[in-house]
Chain A
Amino acid sequence: MENIGSHEDWKRCFAEIAPGLLLFARQWANSAADAEDIVQETFVKFWRRNHKIDNRALLYSAVRSTALDFIRRDSRRARREASAFGENDDFTEPKFEIEDETQRALADAISGLPQEQREVLVMKVWNDLTFAEIAIALRISQNTAASRYRYALTALKKVLQPQ
């Protein structure tokens, strides 16, 4: 998984992590195309700067940083276009491959989570980061990361199993 490997290694590595990275980037991007731009830019920078791809805390931190830069660059334009259309395209480009109504409800519930909980959830569940790695990537303590994850799961349970 190191970046000193061959080009083919990198292709295989990227194929493994791209869906999770895209889902992570998608939290800040209005469209799948923007998320792909963010992931591409980050991944190529990572390779060029000789970072090890298995340093996942740094990788996700970089994706987050690139996404926030992207938002700053495009925020004015996006606001104007969103207001002109009167909608955004969140609903036309699903973040998950939905197979049934239960999964749709779950995906909707995830979208409704607070940002800070959702990003921890995405890193933990679909990218298999440890709380230690999440803590480094988000510059929070491990306890905070674990708490946010627990709050997210509690909120999802409430939504899906209302008592």
Chain B
Amino acid sequence: MSDFSEIENDLRKLRPSQPSPILFQRVEEALTDCATGALAAPKRSEGASDARRPRMLLDLPQHWATWGFGVAAAAVLVVFAALSVQRSQEREGTIAQALQPSEARPSVNQVAPAALAEKFVPAGATRVVYNTRNEGLHFADGSRQPLRRVRYQARQTWQWRNPTTGASLRVSYPSEEVMLIPVSGQ
């Protein structure tokens, strides 16, 4: 391959981009966390490889206790939600008065983040608008000023990161917004 020595030399002069300092910090934290966990937890034998274990989105074997607690909390919430639904069906006529906001939406906003808040911190949020539709002029009730109705279809993505392990959690969902923009009558 002596023909290629020149191009190989040129290639070696190209230096790969350096990783960001944050990467070193993240890996260092993850390694420290793993080291701490390894001291506390019983050591696995050399042959007990978990390479064939199914991969998980959040691969955190050092924190099974934490995740076990989270799963237990989620199970309690499911039971609680089922009881709420059953109770609301029994009192269908007075559902609006009977259900407080905390009962109506107990699962996501209150308990789950509390269980996970110690570990995951917000790492980013994006909103990608992939479609905008102008739906023309409209007049609100009792108003003579025209309003332009614009519909936005977007995808929102929220990301959390565990600074100690580097694990990340991403939630992505579609959203649709309608905006009414006053139109000047010039």
Mark A residues whose CB is within 8 Å of B.
7, 10-11, 14-15, 18-20, 22-23, 32, 36-37, 39-41, 43-45, 47-50, 69, 73, 77, 80-81, 83-85, 93-98, 102-103, 106-107, 110, 121, 125-126, 150, 153-154, 156-157, 160
**Which residues of B have CB within 8 Å of A157?**
4, 7
Contact B59 A84 (CB under 8 A): no
Contact A18 B7 (CB under 8 A): no
Digit string of B152-179 for contact with A (CB within 8 Å is 1, else 0)?
A: 0001010000000110100010000000
- Contact with A40, one of B15, B18, B44, B166 (Cβ below 8 angstroms): B166
With contact pairs A41-B166, A49-B51 given, residues A84 and B157 touching in the complex (Cβ less than 8 Å): no
Task: Check: B86 CB closer than 8 A to any chain A CB.
Answer: no
Find the residue from B19, B24, B31, B59 having the highest chain A CB count within 10 A. Answer: B19
Contact B128 A81 (CB under 8 A): yes
Apart from A125-B12, A150-B4, A156-B11, list 18 A-B contacts with CB within 8 A: A10-B31, A11-B24, A18-B19, A18-B24, A19-B15, A19-B18, A20-B16, A22-B17, A32-B20, A44-B27, A84-B129, A84-B155, A95-B17, A96-B15, A97-B18, A103-B13, A106-B10, A153-B7
**Which residues of B have CB within 8 Å of A73?**
57
- Contact with A11, one of B15, B28, B155 (Cβ below 8 angstroms): B28
With contact pairs A22-B17, A96-B17 given, residues A160 and B31 touching in the complex (Cβ less than 8 Å): no
> What secondary structure prevails in chain A residues at the interface with B?
helix
- Can you list 6 residue pairs at the A/B interface with Cβ under 8 Å? A18-B19, A20-B16, A36-B20, A83-B130, A96-B15, A110-B11
- Contact with B34, one of A41, A48, A107, A156 (Cβ below 8 angstroms): A48
- Contact with B19, one of A36, A84, A93, A98 (Cβ below 8 angstroms): A36
Contact A84 B17 (CB under 8 A): no
Q: Which residue of A lies closest to B155 (CB)?
A: A80
**Which residues of B have CB within 8 Å of A23?**
16-17
**Which residues of B have CB within 8 Å of A39?**
19, 23
Nearest chain B CB to A3 CB, angstrom units: 10
| Cα separation A19 to B12 with both chains bound (whole Å) | 13
Near A by CB (< 8 A), chain B positions 42-68 give 44, 46, 49-51, 55, 57, 59, 61-62
Q: Which residue of A lies closest to B30 (CB)?
A: A44
What are the 4 A-B residue pairs with the smallest beta carbon separation, nearest first? A84-B130, A23-B16, A19-B16, A153-B4
**Which residues of B have CB within 8 Å of A85?**
128
- Contact with A125, one of B8, B32, B34, B126 (Cβ below 8 angstroms): B8
| Cα separation A80 to B32 with both chains bound (whole Å) | 37
Contact A81 B165 (CB under 8 A): no
**Which residues of B have CB within 8 Å of A11?**
24, 28, 31
**Which residues of A have CB within 8 Å of B28?**
7, 11
